[in-house]
Structure 1
Amino acid sequence: MDVTELEQVLRTVRDFVREKVVPFEAEIDATDHVPDSVRSAAKEMGLYGFAIPEEYGGLGLSMAEEAQLVFELGYTTPSLRSMFGTNNGIAGHVLLEGGTEQQKKRWLPELASGRVVASFALTEPDAGSNPAGLKTLAKQDGDGWRIDGAKRFITNAPTADVFMVFARTDPAEKGSRGITAFLVPRDAPGLTVAPKDHKMGQFGAHTADVHFDGVVVGPERVIGGEAGVGRGYSIAMRCLSHGRIHIAALCVGMADRLVDESVGYTRTREQGGRAIAAFQLVQGLVADSVTDLYAGRALVLDVARRFDDGSDLRVGPATAKYFASEMVGRVADRAVQIHGGAGYMRETTVERFYRDARLFRIYEGTSQIQQVIIAREVIGAAVDG
């Protein structure tokens, strides 16, 4: 996409977010529901497929272009991005990274249009940030597979049409080996979705447990076909690298909004007859947040470009996700502090964003997992003694 086209896309999304979504933020938080009008508009704008190649009906944005788009999406409630983020991100990329051409042609246009919503079913009660502990099993059943197990905290599970399910197909293998990815339709007998989780924040974005009780799928549901058996872990890791940059960009967008909210409040809130913007300690809080924002934006863009050229597919995404998710937490905390007592009230934007921001340090790999990835990649074999 050339610069002019990209700027047009960014401008359109920026206007949509600020004019059509921001006014609904309090309602979304209170009702735990994104208005249907917003969902329909997102489909019409192509937001369900911005990271899917044009040949499959998407916009085909590069990682660097996607990061800039997600900066705009991060300016409002995370539930907006969550509606279509999995189609573009970790679920859609299962097909892009590991699917056969037939699977891509069958499913990617459905994801790009929003006709189908996909979920990425990797996390389990005993296998979260480290998926090597996977216990969901898939055993051969004739020429197909029988899946048994449970997944936890699966984004979009209550509304998903298909699930990208990771299961151990070779129980004799340990750790990351012997894992395979499957595409399982929601209506498969034996698949049940639990009631949606009641979370601290990010209302309007739904997660739930998913159970597989003897779910039988044909060989065409194995991601990558016969050659994909046992390759699920490597597919998941490549998807998560992309997803970590995406989440980092989302954190930058949220930090941008929090800075705007903080600056606006300092100009209008008076204490002792003058605006609190005149107080140097308040200025220091604002300055720290602006510096964090600038650092996060620069890091994400640099990492995204390196991801695009293939020079850094692991350390960069981990550093971006680690720094940006921690960064937005600091910015949110300062924003509440700047607002004082008002910042602790439910009707205040910064209070809502404070709750929403906390999750970014957990999903797509906790901050501690990112530290481990970074250290192991940089130090090498010496980390194991």
Structure 2
Amino acid sequence: MIDHRLSEEYADLRKTVEEFAREQVAPVIGDYYEREEFPYPLVEQMGRMGLFGLPFPEEYGGMGGDYFAFCLALEELARVDSSVAITLEAGVGLGIMPIYRNGTEEQKREWLPALCAGEKLVGFGLTEPGGGSDAGATRTTARLDGGEWVINGSKAFITNSGTDITAGVVVTAVTSGAAGDGRKEISSIIVPSGTPGFTVAPKYSKVGWNASDTHELAFDDCRVPEANLLGGRGRGYSQFLRTLDEGRVAIAALGVGLAQGCVDECLRYIREREAFGRTIGSYQAIQFKVADMEARAHTARLAYYHAASKLLHGEPIKKEAAIAKLISSNAAMDNARDATQIFGGYGFMNEFPVGRFYRDAKILEIGEGTSEVQRMLIAREIGATG
């Protein structure tokens, strides 16, 4: 029997995060956003709520939940603000998850408790200035010298990499020349913050996600212990492919939250705003536009629910994750555009959430693999590439 209703446990979690987002995030996030300031108090509250530890076992300081619970939390946060949501998404999906999936027992014991508590953050250093979606074109290198990895190179657009509570980054690097099949050996290495030779550039000036933390990173003969290798030499490529597949489900949940948040804001606005003697919600043109927005959010939600379900059952999700990410990012962008139009001139003002939503939506069609990459993956998975 197919049943898309949430269990009592999932429903309680969704309600708890929804209340937190509405009562704690919504009243203050606009000021953080305009100041381009990281919301440390909100992150601390999310840590106390256990949101950073949602999908991890209690033995490592987690909540003993699963990836779907994590996605539900992301959706509810993004209904109010995407900067807070992406801080959690990157903190868990890109920061903690690679260490949990691939780390030694010693690495997990050392890193996970503080990360699951939200006391510390870890960035995921994959993207490079000249690489973009071509993650296999990694140029950052790491060579062994006297029991240490010597890292040289740079990374771009790395979330949670320069906050006051950032404990380090997981970096992908080429650890040997091309093999017989022409592929580079790529490995993942943990680089603690403050390591000599590891430099965090000033924060980017961004179009959106202005209350989140994003930096370029540089490594100049940066030395870390050989034991900081994550998951075995040469395993980095397969590790980040899995990380990206799972991350696309999480980003899809975030996109659905933004799309639904646009509906929420419009429903409030059209009941109050009057034009030509009537509330604008009484005009069928507005009703149809909001109905289309709700349909997009609903469809995208079903897509990420499906991908998350397959993930929890241990089934392949490459196609489903790509579909969910593609549909949800389209829904977020389309709904943000329509919401801004419904709000008219007020939609162009930063004091209204829909203006922030519009600025935040575009990156969803780019990050964690562009929409073009998602279509490429879908085509490959269904055998449409010839």
TM class by shorter chain equals over 0.9
Residues 1:337 and 2:337 are matched in the alignment: no
Equivalent residue for 2:325?
A: 321
Pair 1:175–1:182, CA change in 2 (3 A): farther
Displacement after TM superposition at 1:192 (Å): 0.4
Residue correspondence of structure 1 range 1-385 to structure 2 within 5 A: 3-159=7-163, 160-173=166-179, 177-224=184-231, 228-379=232-383, 383=385
Root-mean-square deviation (Å): 1.7
Displacement after TM superposition at 1:176 (Å): 5.4
CA deviations on 1:220-265 (whole Å, 9 max, x unpaired) are 10002xxx10110100011111111011001111111110111221
- 2: CA distance between counterparts of 1:270 and 1:45? 41
Name whichever of 288-297 and 56-65 sits farther off: 56-65
Q: Secondary structure at the match of 2:297?
A: helix
Counterpart amino acid of 2:192?
P
Counterpart amino acid of 2:198?
L
Displacement after TM superposition at 1:267 (Å): 1.4
Counterpart amino acid of 1:289?
M
Runs of 4+ deviating beyond 4 Å = none
Structure 1: 5+ residue stretches without partners:
none
- 2: CA distance between counterparts of 1:20 and 1:240? 30
Counterpart amino acid of 1:241?
D
CA deviations on 1:38-97 (whole Å, 9 max, x unpaired) are 232112111222122222111232222222222211112112123332231112121122
Counterpart amino acid of 1:267?
R
**8 Å Cα contact 2:43/2:118 also seen in 1:** no
Pair 1:35–1:181, CA change in 2 (3 A): closer
- 2: CA distance between counterparts of 1:53 and 1:131? 30
Equivalent residue for 2:3?
A: none
- 1: CA distance between counterparts of 2:310 and 2:334? 26
Give TM-score, length-normalised by structure 1: 0.94
- 1: CA distance between counterparts of 2:243 and 2:182? 18
- 2: CA distance between counterparts of 1:127 and 1:35? 30
The number of residue pairs the alignment matches comes to 378
Pair 1:301–1:185, CA change in 2 (3 A): same
Counterpart amino acid of 1:193?
V
CA deviations on 1:335-371 (whole Å, 9 max, x unpaired) are 0111122212222211111001111111111111111
Displacement after TM superposition at 1:100 (Å): 1.6
Displacement after TM superposition at 1:284 (Å): 1.4
Counterpart amino acid of 1:283?
Q
Displacement after TM superposition at 1:33 (Å): 1.9
- 1: CA distance between counterparts of 2:315 and 2:42? 37
Counterpart amino acid of 1:168?
V
- 1: CA distance between counterparts of 2:326 and 2:285? 28
Give TM-score, length-normalised by structure 2: 0.94
**8 Å Cα contact 1:52/1:108 also seen in 2:** no
- 1: CA distance between counterparts of 2:86 and 2:51? 11
Q: Secondary structure at the match of 2:94?
A: coil
- 2: CA distance between counterparts of 1:81 and 1:247? 9
User: What is the identity percentage for the equivalent residue pairs of Structure 1 and Structure 2?
Assistant: 38
- 2: CA distance between counterparts of 1:175 and 1:83? 36
Displacement after TM superposition at 1:319 (Å): 0.8
Displacement after TM superposition at 1:7 (Å): 3.1
- 1: CA distance between counterparts of 2:98 and 2:38? 26
Pair 1:16–1:176, CA change in 2 (3 A): farther
- 1: CA distance between counterparts of 2:11 and 2:290? 28
Counterpart amino acid of 1:172?
A
- 2: CA distance between counterparts of 1:365 and 1:176? 21
- 1: CA distance between counterparts of 2:245 and 2:116? 20
Name whichever of 208-217 and 24-33 sits farther off: 24-33
- 2: CA distance between counterparts of 1:286 and 1:8? 28
